[in-house]
Amino acid sequence: MRRQIPLAIALVAGLFGALSYFIQDPTVQDIREQLLAWLRLIGAFAIGIGIVSFLRNHGKKVTRQVSGWAFNAVAIASFLAMSTIGLFGGISDSSLFRKMFDFAQVPMEATMFSLLAFFIASAAFRAFRARTKEATLLLLAAVVVMLGRVANIDWLSQATEWILAVPNTAAARGITIGVGLGIVATALKIVLGIERSYLGGE
């Protein structure tokens, strides 16, 4: 019974969710809207679970003083500081929370991301070697796209657009369709009760 009830809920909710997309009856649409509201609530619970998991994982490392535990302590302290400041000081334009976000988090994240330019330059120099036919093809495509994205030369820009719109799109579409079919198959397995790992144990 402990397994059959969740499986039945998954079956009904899954089938209803899929079919309601195509049925325009007002009653069906009302129920669908209610389910969507529930979905948002469940999403909010997921944040709570995330916070508990975050504190438990980092807290464990701090109490056991594993290698690099100071970083875990900083993560917890930062989380608690931002939460407290936001909860009690508000998040308006002039609030400390907003200043912490604008003058601490924004520059830190921007700095981390901008470092990529340096590492990509170094990695490209070391990795792009025409050792095989495939590597040469990749190298040529990369050079054309890199130059075509910046140089104001018509034929180079057109060649770049062709690479992006034809071979790139062909590969990306194949991957997208594959992923889409995988999602449908997994969803069907869950709805029909074939895939039960989300219940735990199996």
The verdict on 146 binding another protein (CB under 8 A) reads: yes
The one-letter code for the residue type at 86 is G
Quick one: DSSP state of residue 199? G
The verdict on 53 binding another protein (CB under 8 A) reads: no
Q: Give alpha helix (H) positions in the chain.
A: 4-19, 26-64, 69-89, 96-100, 106-127, 133-148, 154-165, 167-191
What are the φ and ψ backbone dihedral angles of 128, each rounded to 5 degrees? -80, 85
Q: Pick the stretch among 2-10, 36-44, 68-76, 81-89 that binds another protein (CB under 8 A).
A: 36-44
The residue assigned the tokens 């989300």 is 198
Among 3, 25, 33, 184, binds another protein (CB under 8 A): 33
Distance CA 97, CA 85 (A): 6
The verdict on 44 binding another protein (CB under 8 A) reads: yes
The verdict on 45 binding another protein (CB under 8 A) reads: no
Point out which residues bind another protein (CB under 8 A).
21, 29, 33, 36-37, 39-40, 43-44, 47, 91, 93, 98, 101-102, 105-110, 112-114, 117-118, 120-122, 124-126, 128-130, 139, 142-143, 146-147, 149-154, 157, 161, 164-165, 168-169, 172-173, 176
